Structure formats: structure tokens, C-alpha cells
Amino acid sequence: MLLGMIPNKENLGGKLMRATKQKMAILDFLRSKRAHYNAVQIHEAVQKQIPTISLSTIYRNLAQLIEAGEIASVEASDKCVFYDGYTDEHSHFVCERCKKIYDFPVAKAISEPEKAGFTVKNQRVVYFGLCSECNNTKGTK
Ligand SMILES: [Zn+2]
Ligand SMILES: [Zn+2]
């Protein structure tokens, strides 16, 4: 019953999760462009397709999509969670000034856990600081 919105996937995450209209709308929005959105932004966007959807339904669907490995969450500094439709391994940079989230490839160097003999399967690094744009305008408020 998938609508061809997600290539190469027969069912979501291969798990017992129904691909509901709500989930498809959320995924479609999150993957429409490489960006990160909070639940309120997702709610606003999905309401264009499903006007009756509530914010609590959005939260519930987001939690299920995370559990199924379809999306990832990024915790920004001020207790604000953003959602990422792309779960390929990448690091995030959260700019503390403009609050934008940037994607970066994961550093290829051997990590500290690996040096200690641990096997790293996945790493989610979140950097915090000032992005290059904000660095350039620093002090010119
Ligand atoms: Zn910035
Ligand atoms: Zn990302």
C-alpha cells in the first residue's frame, strides 16, 4: 500500500508498523528536503495534507518512526528536539545563535571507544557552537 514515495522500501523499517497516511505525510515532508524540523513545524506542514491531524498524533507518529529507524531525532541545546528524515550516518552541528542545524560527514578517524577495543556501530555526534555565517557577522549585531 505504499505510494511510491519512498524508493526501495516495501514496508517501513521492515517492522510491524503500519504505513498510515499520517506517517507517509510526515516522512514525505521530512524527506522533501535535507533539513531538520521540530514537531510544530512538521505539524504545520502535515496539516496542509491532513487538516484534522493533532500535534499529539504527530508526536506519537514521530516516536514510532524513530523506533522503526525511519527518522532520527537531534537534540538541540534548548531542550528542543528536531527530526531528521535522513538516517544515514552523519554528524550534526547546532548553531547556538541562528539555531540552524547542519549536516556533516562523520569523521573517519578512529574514535576513542574503538581505541579502547569497543566496536562502534553507530555514532551520533552533535556539535554546538557558531556556524560560519554567524561567525562572519559576529559583533555586528
Ligand atoms: Zn548560525
Ligand atoms: Zn541531519
Q: Are 43 and 53 in contact (CB under 8 A)?
A: yes
Which numbered ligand comes closest to the C-alpha of 82?
2
* Ligand 2 center from residue 90 Cα (angstroms): 6
* Cell triple for 7: 524508493
Q: 46 in the Ramachandran plot: left (φ > 0), alpha (ψ -120 to 50) or beta?
A: alpha
SS3 label, residue 32:
coil
Same fold, 12-84 and 90-136: no
Cα(78) to ligand 1 centroid in Å equals 15
pLDDT tens string 70-110: 999 998 866 789 999 998 889 999 998 998 899 998 877 78
**Where would I find the beta strands (DSSP E) of the chain?**
36-38, 72-75, 81-84, 90-95, 101-105, 126-129
- State the distance from the centre of ligand 1 to the C-alpha of 102, rounded, in angstroms: 9
Contacts with 46 (C-beta within 8 Å, 6 or more apart), sequence order: 22, 25, 26, 29, 53, 58
Residue range 90-136 in CATH 3.30.1490.190? yes
DSSP state of 99: -
Domain ranges, ordered by start, for the chain: 12-84, 90-136
Q: Using CA atoms, how far apart are residues 18 and 82, in angstroms rounded to an integer?
A: 23
Taking Cα atoms as reference points, which of 76, 109, 78 lies closest to residue 94?
76
Surface-to-core class of residue 28, CB atoms within 10 Å of its CB (0-12 exposed, 13-18 middle, 19+ buried): middle
Q: What is the pLDDT of residue 1?
A: 38
Q: How far apart are CA 42 and CA 95, in angstroms?
A: 20
pLDDT tens digits, one per residue of 12-67: 554 556 779 999 999 999 999 899 999 999 999 999 999 999 999 999 999 999 99
For residue 54, report the distance from its CA to the centre of ligand 2, in Å: 25
Q: Could you tell me which CATH number the domain at 12-84 has?
A: 1.10.10.10
What separation in Å is there between the alpha carbon of 117 and the centre of ligand 2? 28
Which residues are near ligand 2, the ion (C-beta closer than 5 Å)? 84, 103
